[in-house]
Amino acid sequence: MRISPVGALAGFAAAALLSSCGGYSSGDDTTLYPGPVPPPTPPPTASLAVARVFPNLTFNLPVAMLQAPADGTRWFVVEQNGIVRVFANDATATSSSVFVDISPRVASPADNAGSETGLLGMALHPQFAQNRRAFLYYTAAGGTGLVLRLSEFRSNDNGQTLDATTERPLITINKPGAEANHNGGGIAFGPTDGFLYIGVGDGGGAGDNHGAIGNGQNLNTLLGKMLRIDVTPASGYAIPPDNPFMANAAQCGATGSGANPCPEIFAFGFRNPWRWSFDRANGELWVGDVGQQTLEEVDRVTRNGNYGWRCREGTNTFNAACGPAQAQDLVNPVAQYGHAAGFSITGGYVYRGTAISSLQGRYVFGDFGSGRIWHIARDTAPTLDVTSTTDSAPVIMSGLSISSFAEGVDGELYLLHHGASGTLHRLQAGP
C-alpha cells in the first residue's frame, strides 16, 4: 500500500532517497509509484532556496526538529528509531548527544519493514524551563498488534536530558489488525490555549476500510483525528471545556475508542495528518493531510471541523459509504495537488521570520517524494491547485526527501532530509 511520508524504508534504493520513506507495500488499491516525479520546467526566477546547515552532523532517520520554548541555544532532533538527540545551535557544531533513548520500547521501521512506525513526535511543555516536562508520541507493540502511545517524561538534571524511567503513558490507541502505517505523528502545544494537540492517522490500510464508515468519520475512535487535551492534571489529562464532545465524560485514552464520541477530539476526517503546525502570529492550525491515490491536501483546521476523509480525498469524492458526514458540511482544503507533482505531502509553517521579507505570512509546505516546496497566501480560498502556473508561487526543487519542516524560536524555517544519514537544511532567499 502507498504509505507516507516515512514508510517503505526498504522499497527504494538507499542511494536514491537515503531511505525509501515514500514507498509502497502490498495491499493498496493504488498503482505502484513508478519512480521519481520528473522535475518541472524551472521558473524564470526563484525567490527561495535551501542550504545545508550544521554540516558536521547527520542523523538516523530524522523526522522532527524543535527548540525549547523561548530558548534558541539548542536544537532537538527526533530520530525514528527511538532516540532524541540534542546539540548546540552553533553552525560549527561537531557532535550531538542523546537527550532521551526509548528505542527498546519503540516499534521501529527496523521491526516493521515498509512501515511508518517509530518515534514520531516530541513536544516540550510551554514551561519546560520550570517544570522540565516533555511528551513523546510513538508506536509500540501491543497485545494483538501495534499501538500508538502518547507519554509524558521528565528531566531530572535541569533539562539536560529526559529520564526514560519517568515515562507516564497518557493515551494509548490500539491500531486495527497488523497495519503499520497512517499513524500521524505530530504533537505540539497550542500557542494561544496551552493545550496539547495530537495528530492521529486513520489506522492504516487502504481506503480507511475500518467499520461501516471508516475511522476518519467515526467519532467513537481517536483514529483519523486531531486531538486536544489539557495536561495540567498530575494524574493524567483533562478535556478542554470547549472540545466538541467534552460532555461525554468517558475518555477514550485507554484504548483509543469508546461507546460515545470521544471527548479528546478537536477535529476529524483525516487520513494521515503527518506534519502540521500553528501560525505563531494568530494560532491558526495548518495540517498537511497525506492523500490516497489522487490528491494531497492542505487544511486550515478549526474546532469541530470535518475535513472529509473517507468521504472525500481533497475535493474529490472517494467513498460515499461514510455515514452521517454525507449530510453535513465538509471543510474544503485550502490547497491541493495531484500525484503528477508529488505523492506525500509534508506540512510546513506560516513564515514569521525576518530573513525573507517576501515570504512573510505565507504558508510553506513540501512533498516528501518529489522534494518540491510551495508557498501560498495564508488567506487562500477557495481550494487552490498549487500546480497552477497562474495561482501558485514558483516551485522549488529541493532535491530532498522532506520528512519534516522545523521552526526556530526566531521564526526561521528548516527542513529535514530523511535517511540513514539524514541532514538538516535551512530555507533562505534565492538568487
d(CA 89, CA 414): 13
pLDDT digits (tens, 9 = 90+) for 149-172: 999 999 999 999 999 999 999 999
Cα atoms in the 13 Å half-sphere on the side-chain side of 197: 29
Three cell numbers, residue 189: 502545544
Contact in structure between 306 and 267 (CB atoms under 8 Å): yes
Residue 402's beta-bridge partner residues? 417
Determine how many CB atoms are found less than 10 A away from the CB of residue 158: 8
Residue whose C-alpha is closest to residue 164's, from 179, 154, 150 = 154
Q: Which tens digit of pLDDT belongs to each residue from 119-129? A: 999 999 999 99
In the three-class reduction of DSSP (H, G, I as helix; E, B as strand; rest coil), residue 131 is classed as helix
- What gap in Å lies between CA 373 and CA 404, rounded to an integer? 12
What whole-number distance in Å separates Cα of residue 375 and Cα of residue 392?
7
Cα–Cα distances (Å) from 157 to 38, 99, 129, 417, in that order, read 49, 11, 12, 31
Report phi then psi at 79, rounded to 5. Answer: -100, 135
Q: Which letter does DSSP use for residue 43 in this model?
A: P
| The CATH fold of domain 57-429 | Neuraminidase (2.120.10)
- Residue 109: Cβ within 10 Å count: 25
Cis peptide before 191 (omega within 30 of 0): no
Measured over the CA atoms of residue 58, residue 59, residue 65 and residue 67, the dihedral's sign is negative
- pTM of the full predicted structure? 0.91
Which residues neighbour 78 within 8 Å (Cβ) at sequence distance 6 or greater? 62, 63, 64, 65, 84, 119, 120, 121, 122
Q: Is residue 68 within a helix (H) or strand (E), and if so which, with residue range?
A: strand 62-68
Residues 11, 392: Cα–Cα separation, whole Å: 32
The set of cell numbers assigned to 289 is: 493531510
Query: What are 175's three cell numbers?
Result: 491500531
Neighbours of 143 (CB within 10 A): 6
The pairing of beta strand 295-301 with beta strand 285-289: antiparallel
Beta bridge mates, 375? 364
pLDDT (tens digit per residue) in 341-382: 999 999 999 999 999 998 999 999 999 999 999 999 989 989
Measure Cα distances from 418 to 18, 84, 241 in Å: 7, 15, 38
∠ CA 5-7-8, rounded to 5°? 135
pLDDT in tens, the chain (431 residues): 343 444 433 333 233 333 333 333 323 433 223 344 444 444 333 479 999 999 999 999 999 999 999 999 999 999 999 999 999 999 999 999 999 999 999 998 887 765 799 999 999 999 999 999 999 999 998 878 899 999 999 999 999 999 999 999 999 999 997 789 999 999 999 999 999 999 999 999 999 999 999 999 999 999 999 999 999 998 899 999 999 999 999 999 999 999 999 999 999 999 999 999 999 999 999 999 999 999 999 999 999 999 999 999 999 999 999 998 766 789 999 999 999 999 999 999 999 999 999 899 999 999 999 999 999 998 998 999 998 755 556 689 999 999 999 999 999 999 999 999 999 999 999 87
